[in-house]
């Protein structure tokens, strides 16, 4: 294929309901077709209501995808055409691959809007995309496993942490908690890189900023009856309070947009607990469609394109 032809840009993300009416089908899809109980549905609906009714994630994902494409289309490289594929709501990943095939896209780079790789997260997105592509006979997909250690991303993340620390007085002793979405503990049995990658990027930022006090935690674990990675951020706050910590900066580095796991789990649930424990809790701003963040993603995409059929 001639290099001047359009490159597909498959931007994959988790997805979110866009209205109250979409909460039930969304939750059912997450549960692999099993509808939630009324109690579970009511609890999730209550959380959305607490942040304004629906999550801003759908709109943010669109801005991220089209903003990324805009940067790539003026960087002097191959022109791209963006396609959004979501895991749990429309347009699904399969829909995006089908649209690329219909449009005659022969090669595409696929990126998931999450920095750290896990077989249960990024791996599942990739499997869905590859299966759809194989069934349709194209396009050829060049997939990005992770970008948590890309220098441009780390710089943006470090800037977010530095900005967050400025919310405290200059002589305050602040502990930064680097967190990401918890996953079932069973991933440890297969040597999944997810926990190590969380520490790699957090420690890289800590070195860049010479942080003296930082730690790691997990958040937003599912209620599946099986053990999930811990400690949970709420338990971490209790641990820090017992140790005399009074200032905490939350950096949900595993998330790149404002959504339920940040706007509710951190801004409401964690902050309420922190207040009860006598801790001042602030958090870093999410990446959203910040241009410097999108420039980092653009560099990741170009690097994967240049590798072509080489192993990512």
Q: What stretch of H or E contains 261?
A: helix 260-263
pLDDT band at 294 (very low <50, low <70, confident <90, very high): very high
pLDDT digits (tens, 9 = 90+) for 144-175: 999 999 999 999 999 999 999 999 999 999 99
pLDDT of residue 107: 98
pLDDT band at 281 (very low <50, low <70, confident <90, very high): very high
Mean predicted lDDT score pLDDT of the chain = 96
pLDDT of residue 225: 83
280-283: long-range contacts at Cβ-Cβ below 8 A with a sequence spacing of 24 or more?
Answer: 280/168, 280/246, 280/247, 280/248, 281/237, 281/248, 281/249, 281/250, 282/164, 282/167, 282/168, 282/248, 282/249, 282/250, 283/164, 283/249, 283/250, 283/251, 283/252
Could you count the other beta carbons within 10 Å of the beta carbon of residue 195? 19
CA 258-293-284 angle, to 5 degrees, is: 45
pLDDT band at 142 (very low <50, low <70, confident <90, very high): very high
pLDDT of residue 1: 42
Write the CATH number of the domain with boundaries 151-283.
3.40.50.1400
DSSP state of 109: E
The two tokens of residue 290 are 């910040």
pLDDT of residue 254: 97
Contacts of 227 (CB under 8 A, 6+ apart): 184, 185
pLDDT of residue 262: 98
The answer to whether 259 and 16 have CB atoms below 8 angstroms apart is yes
pLDDT digits (tens, 9 = 90+) for 240-272: 999 999 999 999 999 999 999 999 999 999 999
User: Does residue 302 have a known ligand-binding role?
Assistant: no
Per CATH, which fold does 7-148+290-307 belong to? Rossmann fold (3.40.50)
3-state secondary structure 10-55: EEEECCCCCCHHHHHHHHHHHCCCCCCCHHHHHHHHHHHHHCCCCC
- pLDDT greater than 90 at residue 234: yes
- Write the DSSP string, 200-213: HHHHHHHHHHT-SS
pLDDT of residue 223: 79
pTM score over 0.85: yes
pLDDT of residue 52: 96
Domain residue spans of the chain: 7-148+290-307, 151-283
pLDDT of residue 282: 98
Cis peptide preceding 139, ω within 30 of 0: yes
User: Does residue 55 have a known ligand-binding role?
Assistant: yes
Distance between alpha carbon 258 and the CA centroid of its chain, in Å?
10
User: Does residue 31 have a known ligand-binding role?
Assistant: yes
CA distance 217 to 253: 11
Give the HSE-up count for residue 169: Cα atoms under 13 Å, Cβ half-sphere: 5
User: Does residue 47 have a known ligand-binding role?
Assistant: yes
pLDDT digits (tens, 9 = 90+) for 29-38: 999 999 999 9
- Write the DSSP string, 155-218: HHHHHHHHHHHTTS-TT---EEEEEEE--BGGGGGGT-SHHHHHHHHHHHHHHHHT-SSEEEEE
pLDDT band at 27 (very low <50, low <70, confident <90, very high): very high
pLDDT band at 4 (very low <50, low <70, confident <90, very high): low
User: Does residue 261 have a known ligand-binding role?
Assistant: yes
Q: What stretch of H or E contains 67?
A: helix 57-72
pLDDT of residue 122: 98
User: Percentage of residues in the chain with pLDDT exceeding 90?
Assistant: 96
User: Does residue 246 have a known ligand-binding role?
Assistant: no
pLDDT band at 312 (very low <50, low <70, confident <90, very high): very low
Please indicate whether the domains covering 7-148+290-307 and 151-283 agree at the CATH topology level: yes
User: Does residue 48 have a known ligand-binding role?
Assistant: yes
CA distance 259 to 192: 25
CA distance 154 to 116: 12
Could you give the dihedral angle defined by the CA atoms of residues 223, 224, 225 and 229, in that order, rounded to the nearest 10 degrees?
Answer: -80
Q: Rg of the chain over CA atoms, in angstroms?
A: 20
Tell me what the mean pLDDT of segment 186-208 comes to. 97
User: Does residue 148 have a known ligand-binding role?
Assistant: no
pLDDT of residue 311: 56
């Amino acid at each position: 294929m001639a290099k001047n032809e359009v490159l597909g840009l498959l931007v994959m993300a988790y997805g979110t309901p866009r209205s109250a009416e979409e909460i039930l089908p969304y939750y059912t899809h997450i549960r692999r077709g099993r509808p939630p109980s009324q109690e579970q549905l009511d609890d999730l609906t209550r959380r959305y209501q607490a942040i304004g009714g629906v999550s801003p994630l759908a709109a943010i994902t669109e801005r991220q995808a089209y903003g990324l494409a805009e940067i790539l289309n003026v960087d002097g490289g191959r022109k791209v055409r963006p396609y959004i594929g979501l895991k749990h709501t429309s347009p699904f990943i399969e829909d995006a691959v089908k649209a690329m095939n219909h449009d005659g896209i022969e090669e595409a780079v696929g990126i998931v809007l999450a920095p750290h790789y896990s077989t249960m997260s990024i791996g599942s997105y990739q499997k869905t995309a590859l299966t759809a592509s194989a069934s349709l006979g194209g396009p050829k997909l060049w997939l990005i496993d992770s970008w948590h250690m890309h220098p441009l991303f780390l710089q943006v993340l470090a800037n977010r942490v530095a900005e967050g620390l400025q919310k405290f007085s200059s002589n305050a002793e602040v502990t930064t908690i680097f967190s990401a979405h918890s996953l079932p503990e069973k991933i440890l049995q297969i040597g999944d890189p997810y926990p190590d990658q969380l520490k790699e990027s957090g420690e890289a930022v800590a070195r860049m900023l010479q942080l003296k006090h930082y730690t790691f935690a997990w958040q937003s674990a599912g209620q599946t009856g099986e053990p999930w990675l811990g400690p949970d951020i709420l338990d971490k706050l209790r641990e820090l309070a017992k140790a005399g910590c009074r200032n905490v900066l939350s950096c949900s580095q595993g998330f790149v947009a404002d959504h339920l796991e940040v706007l509710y789990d951190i801004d409401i649930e964690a902050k309420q607990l922190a207040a009860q424990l006598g801790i001042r809790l602030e958090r870093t701003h999410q990446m959203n469609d910040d241009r410097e963040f999108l420039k980092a993603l653009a560099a990741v995409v170009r690097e994967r394109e240049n590798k072509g059929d080489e192993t990512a």
